[in-house]
Structure 1
Amino acid sequence: MHEDIHVGGGLVTAFVAYALAAFVILIILRFAFARLRFSRYVANAPLAEAGLYVCVLALLIAFI
């Protein structure tokens, strides 16, 4: 992982920055999936979104 981030005199781990970036990407994907009516293809849409968030977060950690 990368170094800590200095915020307001405190140190925040890089994981927090990755988690926030993954959340922003998820918000964008939610708009795209809403237009495609993604929820009719899955049985539990919130669970699918949570899994998608975990996958995006893992990709950010692996590739950045």
Structure 2
Amino acid sequence: MHEDIHFGGVLISSFVGYALVAFAILLALRFLFARIRLSRYVANAPLAEAGIYVCVLALLIALT
């Protein structure tokens, strides 16, 4: 997905596509985090989720 996305005649950077896919993966992971009660293991759960989002986004960019 290294090319720009054409959406209604507007060119959108491929980074936006990667960010949306990473967000969808994070939504799926949030269900898992709720099941294992992530907040018990980290001091700041939203900060941990933000870090995981950045890691997922970086992996998507690096592996595609």
Scaled by the length of structure 2, what TM-score is found? 0.97
Runs of 5+ in structure 1 lacking a partner? none
The sequence identity of aligned pairs, in percent, is 75
Residues matched between the structures, number? 64
RMSD: 0.9
Scaled by the length of structure 1, what TM-score is found? 0.97
Looking at structure 1, the residues matched to 58 and 5 of structure 2 have their Cα atoms a distance apart, in angstroms, of 19
- Give the corresponding residue for 1:57: 57
Q: Does 1:39 align with 2:33?
A: no
Moved over 6 A (4+): none
Q: Deviation at 1:61? A: 0.2
